[in-house]
Amino acid sequence: MENLTSLMRSLDDISSLIPEGTYLEMANNLKKVHETIPKDTDPPMLDLRSLQVNVPFQVVQPGMAVHRLQNDEDSDDDDDEDEDEVVQRVPTTVIIETDTRSEIRTEFHQNNIIIERLKADIRIAERSLRLLKPIINLTPKIKEAAIMDFCDGDPDCVGGGEWTFDNLNAATMWSSEEERRECTSKMYERTLYNNYKIRENRRISRLTIEARELKRNLEIELEDYKDRQAYLTRTYL
């Protein structure tokens, strides 16, 4: 401020040396500068260039601060809305909690039913594994099964009698004597039994693998349901 006053005095001192128009222009410029200088009673000036001002209906960019001015009426309205929310929220929470507990009890009951079914299926798989034994010796029962398999279960193949090799030969119509001798020989009978043994052992091996895999999967599923029941009991029940 003191520098501006000194500048105005200097201008007055040289007023007789410069054109009148130039003097008036310089004096007017100094006056404008004087008007822009803040007085002691003026509030401090702020550099507003770095402040982000939210214009109404302006799209808010990421990182932009949003300031909402609130008057007393808005505050009262918000208080009313908060009270309404509290009044409505309490029964809703109770309903949700009640529904959740009902669903948990239903799930717990259904899981118990599934667990019992899984245990029954595991027992069936274990029984199958006990019965699925490979053929080792050609017992009379195995020989009967071999003849029945050879005849595809048709009783006429053995003349309606027992499933024996002798009945098979007696009920067969031979095309030649040579065929009869070949197909009724002990070697042919032994080959018939051994072929059945090989086929049956392959089938038993396949079924055993499937039963073991089924039992393992059932046991894993059973443990999962048991863990779920333990969690429900520990957390909700």
Asked if residue 210 and residue 124 are part of one domain, the reply reads yes
Kindly report, residue by residue over 32-75, the tens digit of the pLDDT: 776 666 554 444 444 444 444 444 444 445 555 444 545 555 55
- pLDDT of the residue at 29: 75
Asked if residue 231 and residue 116 are part of one domain, the reply reads yes
Asked if residue 216 and residue 122 are part of one domain, the reply reads yes
Asked if residue 230 and residue 119 are part of one domain, the reply reads yes
Residue 71 lies in a domain: no
Contacts of 215 (CB under 8 A, 6+ apart): 122, 125, 126, 129
Residue 28 lies in a domain: yes
> Which residues form the domain of 209?
107-235
Residue 98 lies in a domain: no
Structural domain count, the chain: 2
Q: Look at the pTM and tell me if it is higher than 0.85.
A: no
Asked if residue 123 and residue 32 are part of one domain, the reply reads no
User: Which carries the bigger pLDDT value, residue 18 or residue 193?
Assistant: 193
Kindly report, residue by residue over 64-113, the tens digit of the pLDDT: 544 454 555 555 555 555 555 444 444 555 555 666 888 888 999 999 99
Q: For residue 109, which amino acid is it?
A: H
Kindly report, residue by residue over 133-181, the tens digit of the pLDDT: 999 999 999 999 999 999 999 999 999 999 999 999 999 999 999 999 9
Asked if residue 114 and residue 228 are part of one domain, the reply reads yes
Asked if residue 212 and residue 131 are part of one domain, the reply reads yes
Q: CA-to-CA distance for 145 and 201, rounded, in angstroms?
A: 13
Residue 226 and residue 164 in contact, taking contact as beta carbons nearer than 8 Å: no
**Confidence label for 17 from pLDDT (cuts 50, 70 and 90):** low
Kindly report, residue by residue over 176-235, the tens digit of the pLDDT: 999 999 999 999 999 999 999 999 999 999 999 999 999 999 999 999 999 999 999 998
- pLDDT of the residue at 53: 46
Residue 62 lies in a domain: no
- pLDDT of the residue at 229: 94
- pLDDT of the residue at 42: 47
Residue 47 lies in a domain: no
Q: Is the dihedral of CA 58, 63, 69, 74 positive or negative?
A: positive
Please give the C-alpha separations between residue 217 and each of 6, 119, 211, 221, in angstroms, as whole numbers. 100, 12, 10, 6
Residue 147 lies in a domain: yes
